[in-house]
Each structure stands twice: as structure tokens, then as C-alpha cells.
Amino acid sequence: MSSANPLAVLARPDAGWWLTLYPTDGEAGGSFVPSYRPKRSSWIPGTPAADPERSRAEAARRARGKVRRYCTVHRLNRLGTLTYRGQGCHDPAALRTHIGQFFRALRTSTGRGAFPYVWVPEWHKTDHGMHAHFAIGQYTARHHIQTAWPHGFVHIKRLSDLPVGSTSLTEARVAAGYLSKYVTKSFGEDELSRSMRLHRYEVAQGFQPPAIRLSGRSPVEVLGLAVEKMGRAPAESWSSDETADWQGPPAVWFAWD
């Protein structure tokens, strides 16, 4: 018989409330980690999930959060669309190759080197294949964008038509909202990309937002630590208590202006 203390399973050192704060992004999110967690059944990548709908919804939620934070921390407030001429592009792998070539060409033609960006694929409603939506944060002359995309047409605009007093952070959050919509849509429609295990969005590497992990005995305590780091109270907040059908552990989210 093993002499291991059975209570060790219950008293986990990471139990309590954990909050991940993104200071430059003005956002924090976290949840309660229980001292005891039932052993989960093993899952083999590539096999169907026990609850596919819930799994897809959770994956889409996580992807939306990552896109939102990436956009806001880098103030990506310029939205663009890249489309194909002729019969379009029906190959997700080819689209990713073309988008990679597009951003490499932009780096070369503008001479600015590596810069943060995020892009999301979308299937046309008609039988024209795929196009891509992207966000960047620096002004880029239209001729650079057109030259870097020889496959068809381009459209880009800065999200400046917002209420008076809006900041670049506000603009970036609006851009993130648009891209998040396409990310969510791709989880429901892009069966071909899923079968090829391709990502629903892509970002420039090396620009992940810095994060600070905070822990405490209650959501009030971890929020207090976040307020101390930020120097002010959050402008927005959300708690899983506000969601009637919430199925995960208790969770909270905060945002600062």
C-alpha cells in the first residue's frame, strides 16, 4: 500500500483565485482554482471531444480573447481585407502561404522590419473561396499594400469614425471586435481548415502581450492587487455569476480605459 498522504490530492498549492493581468492591454481575467479537481478522462488529440459543441464554443472564446488582447496591446486600429480575383482561392494552406508572403513583402517595402499584425480567414458567402481580414497599427501607404498582394484586391481603413474622445485603445478594441466575429464564424464553418488542423487566426511572432499572474483568496482580493498595479479601478467588469448557464469554475473579467 502506498504511504502517500491522500490529503495531498486535496491541498493543491495553486488553489484559490488566479487573475492574469495584461497591463499594457488594460485587461484582466481569471477564475477560481479548487483545491480538489477530479481526474479528467484522457483525451487523444485528433479524436472527437466528449461534447463537441461545448468544446468548439470554449475554443472560440479563448481565440476571441487572444485576438482582442493582441489587438489592443499593440493598438492595431487599421482594418484591411485581402481578396482574390477570378475564381478565388479554395485552399486554406495556399491562403496562409500567400498571407505570409504578403507580410514579408510589407516588411521589405516599408523598411520597418518586423511589426505586430493579426489576420483571420473567412469563406465568401458565394462560391468564390476565401479572403482574409487583417489589422495593423501603423500607417502604411496603399501602394505598398497593393504591391505586396498581387493576387487580387485590397481594402484598408483606420477606425477613426468613433465618438469624440475615443482613443487608439478604443479603436483597437473595435478592430478586435470585428476580427473576433470572423474567428467565431470560422469555428462553425471552416470544416476544411479544421480537418487540416490549421489555426483560425495568425499573429506576428514575438509580440505576445506581457502578463502578470496574481493570486488571492477571493475575487475582491485579486482585483485589489490588479487595481494596485494599474493605479485605478477598472471601467468595466464581468462575473460568471451574471451568466445563468455558466458551466465552468467561477470567473471574472475586468477592463481599464
pLDDT tens figures, 117-171:
999 998 877 677 889 999 999 899 999 999 999 999 999 998 877 777 678 888 8
For residue 184, pLDDT beyond 80: no
Q: In the sheet that 130-136 helps form, which strands lie side by side, from edge to edge?
A: 152-158, 78-84, 130-136, 117-123, 202-203
Per-residue pLDDT averaged across 196-216, rounded? 81
Q: Up-side HSE of residue 32: CA atoms within 13 Å toward CB?
A: 16
Alpha-carbon distance of 250 to 252, in angstroms, equals: 7
Label residue 180 by pLDDT band (50, 70, 90). Answer: confident
Give the bridge partners for 129, in sequence order.
89
Instruction: Please give the model's pTM, rounded to 2 decimal places.
Output: 0.68
Which three three-digit cell numbers place residue 42? 484522457
Per-domain boundaries in the chain: 12-41+210-255, 75-203
Instruction: Please state which CATH number belongs to domain 75-203.
Output: 3.30.70.260
pLDDT tens figures, 45-78:
555 555 667 666 777 777 888 888 889 888 999 9
